[in-house]
Structure formats: structure tokens, C-alpha cells
Amino acid sequence: MARRKRGSDRRLRAPLQSPGRPGIAVREDRRRFWLAIAAGRSSEDAAVDVGVSRPVGPRWFRGAGGMPPTHLAPSAAAPSGRYLSFAEREEIALLKAQGHGVREIARRISRAGSTVSRELRRNAATRSGGLEYRATTAQWHADRAGQRPKPAKRATNDALRRYVEDRLAGRIAHPDGRPIREPRTTWKKRRHGPRQMRRWAWAWAWAWAWRPEQISARLKLDFPEDAAMRISHEAIYQSLFVQDRGAPRRELTACLRTGRALRVPRARVRGRGKSFVSPEVMISARPAEVEDRAVPGHWEGDLILGLRRSAIGTLVERTTRFTILLHLPPDEEKFAERERTATGVRGAVMGHGAEAVRDAIAAAITTLPARLRRSLTWDQGAEMSQHVDLRINHGLPICFCDPNSPWQRGTNENTNGLLRQYFPKGTDLTMHGPDELDAVAAALNGRPRKTLRWRTPAEALDELLAKTQNDCVATTG
């Protein structure tokens, strides 16, 4: 008996492009996979849990950008009972192979005869071109037909796409506008390793390299009357992480602070005292006015460490989040002999000793008015062993955090995370001169902050200084 032909073949219709091959797992399997990911399982282990091979898990995870599709998310509703399930399709395939008719199959699975007839007509197809009904292939056809992709805003609005992309990437410049050459990088379509150079973000008259939440909030200020220029920060993240969400420049993920090209589930990521630290200088003795950030002039500081003991000092004002970067060049004279290698080639030498850090802080802090240098909070690092000189000679009291308690300087820790976009871990920080540090600090002080009601730290500091000056003039008058 001759094999039946498709309707399209009988009508001499051109063959359609192949949609690929049926997946190796059904919807229920993929849903269980993402539930395991949300519980903290690795991609390989989650794949084994649902019954597929280990390499399939990372493939699913990378293909979705590290986030489950909407219909497979743990919060998504279960499929409606009006649609055939995979179990019902298996029953249909078994009864049809036994030679039962459409009405008998419909009676046994408690469905209408038209439902079974339509199922056999629409979803009965194999790669060989025949019309044999197979449950896995039928489920694959049904899932593809049920997709209703919604065009992403960035894909349909060119002006919005350009605005978002321009502020995700840019270039750091000197105060006079001369651009600074950023490190040469190659986007490898995956997360940048911790010991690689990262792309710098750009800055012209104002600071770019904003994070998605800053871009989303700033749109309302820049385009108050244009309702089309609106996008949520989650939509921006999804357009970067998921290829089919209108993201023609997926490499912009390298401009994110973390540099990761995939979402990482939260479930995956779960001291000693010093002789120069006494109870009188511990954070518990810090004035109570520091906590509520109402009084300006209280700073937090730390070091950003790089390759071969290179470092950059950071100072952040708690009220305005204004940032100052301290240049700590290598101490060539003192450590040259000690740092000489077996081959006679001298590497970068430590420039963040106690004397160097003390002098750098003093040089930076003395440029500020006296009312803006009330205290400095630091961790219990040896680089602050000469803190007494700062208190006596420059009137800057020093407070030290408890051991292993970085959250007690949360403002500084957050700022150091922002700075890691420009100074990645595992890189030689001696390559950055004072001008480059000033340019990066200016870019950071020009970024709008949510905690400042989307003002920039520079604007907040200028407003604070102007208010203080007016108060002083009024008091004198």
C-alpha cells in the first residue's frame, strides 16, 4: 500500500525549513531541571536528576542565559487541563499502535473524538516524513506550536536600544576630554575569568557605564513625556543574558560589573586582632552620628589588591558616597633586592606599606575642609599600623572594624565592587597612574545612585558644601 502524503505535498507546496529534531526531554523534565537549579544544584547534577546526560544540563543552562524560561519558572502555573499532557499522548500512541480507532481512543482517555482526530492530524510526523504517531515527537510539535514569543522592547524601539547600549558601554577620559586607552580584550562569549583584563566603561561629559537599574530610572528623567522610552532593569538583564530577547550585542555583558554572561542562582553561592588595635579605636567606640549618615565627613577606606602585591587605596564618604582613589606606586628603593627573581628580572614591588598608605591618606584628606574629615573606618590591616600619626598630625580619628566583619564598612565594600570593573582581580595595578585613577574616580562620582535618589555623588557633595557654606555665612552675619 502506498504511503500517505502530507497535504502540503499533495498541493505541491514548497517544503518548509526543518525545525530541527525533537528534544530529548519533555516539558516536565525541563521544569524539574530548573527546580533543581533553583535549589542550588549544578547544571550537571540537575541533568542527571531529570534523567538526561550530564553535558545536556550546561547546554540548557547556557542556552537560557542562566534563567528559566517564563513557562518553566518555579512560579509558573501548571499547563491547563484543556491541553493534552505527555502521558495522554503516550496513551494515544499505544492505543493507535494496537489498531484502535479514533473514537475508541477518545473514549479510553476521556477526551472528545475531535480532540484525538486533530492530535493525530497535526502532530503525527517523524523525521523520515511519515505520519506515524509518536508521543515524544507529538509533544515537541505541540510545544513549538504553543509558543507565543513577545518582541522585546530593545528589538522594536531603535532609540531605546541605542540609549541602553550607549550607557552600558563607553570610554574613560581625562578631565580635559582626552580618552584613556582601555585594555585590549576579547569577548569569548562566556564569563570573563578573574585573571583577565576587563573592558573599561566610557565617560564623556557625564559618566556612562551605568548598571541596568540606573538606566531604567534615568529614562524617566531624560524622557519624562515619552512613554515609549521605558524599560525595566530586569528586561535589560534578560536582553543581555538571553540571545533571543533583542540583544544584537551580547558582548555588552562584559561591561557589567561582574562581567558574567549568565545568571548565577542565589542558592549556589552561600579574625584575628592586631597589636596596634586597642578597644579605644574599635568601631564600637565610633560616634553614634556615623550610623544614620546625617552628619557628613565620616569616611570608609580599604585597599584593592592586584597581582604581585600591587594595590590602590579607596576612600568613600558615607553620606554622599563620594570616592577618592589613592595612588600607591611601587617602592622601588626599599624592596628592589627583596623582589628580585631567580632570573634577575625585577617584578612589581609592594607600595602599600604603612608609611605609603599613611602619606597617601594624608595627602588626599588634607585637601578637604575640616568639617569633611571627622573619622575614617578601616579594617584591621597592617597598612594602618601608623594610624596614630593621622589622628595627631591631621586630626583624623581612625576606627577599626571587628575581625572578619566587612559589612561594617558596607559603603566601601560596595564601592570596591564597582571599581573591580576597572581594576579586575589578578591584574597588575601598577600600570594605572594618578591621572587614570582620577578619571575613574570622576566616572564613579558621576554615576547616579539609587540611594541618593538618582543624584550623583558629585552633585550630592556640591549641594552639601554649598549648604554648609551658606550656614556659615548666615551664622557669621
Q: Helices marked H in 157-211 — which ranges?
A: 158-168
Phi and psi torsions of 324, nearest 5° = -125, 130
pTM given for the model: 0.47
Highest averaged pLDDT of the listed ranges 17-31, 311-325, 355-369: 311-325
Mean pLDDT across 306-315 = 88
> For the segment 104-115, what is each residue's pLDDT rounded down to a tens digit?
999 999 999 899
pLDDT value at residue 272: 46
- Which residue in 428, 417, 454, 441 sits closest to 173, CA to CA? 441
Cα–Cα distance, 140 to 404 (Å, whole number):
53
Residue 169 has pLDDT above 50, yes or no: yes
Asked if residues 317 and 297 have their Cβ atoms less than 8 Å apart, the reply is: yes
pLDDT value at residue 65: 79
pLDDT value at residue 318: 92
> For the segment 358-379, what is each residue's pLDDT rounded down to a tens digit?
889 999 988 888 888 888 999 8
Phi and psi torsions of 323, nearest 5° = -115, 140
Side chain identity at 377, as an amino acid letter? T
Mean pLDDT across 123-128 = 67
Asked if residues 96 and 120 have their Cβ atoms less than 8 Å apart, the reply is: yes
pLDDT value at residue 446: 92
Greatest CA separation for the chain: 109
C-alpha grid cell, residue 459: 552633585
Asked if residues 40 and 265 have their Cβ atoms less than 8 Å apart, the reply is: yes
| Residue 113, Cβ density class (10 Å: 0-12 exposed, 13-18 middle, ≥19 buried) | middle
pLDDT value at residue 19: 61
Residue 29 has pLDDT above 60, yes or no: yes
What are the helix and strand counts (H, E) for the chain? 18, 5
Task: With H, G, I as helix, E, B as strand and everything else as coil, classify residue 299.
Answer: strand
Residue 455 has pLDDT above 90, yes or no: yes
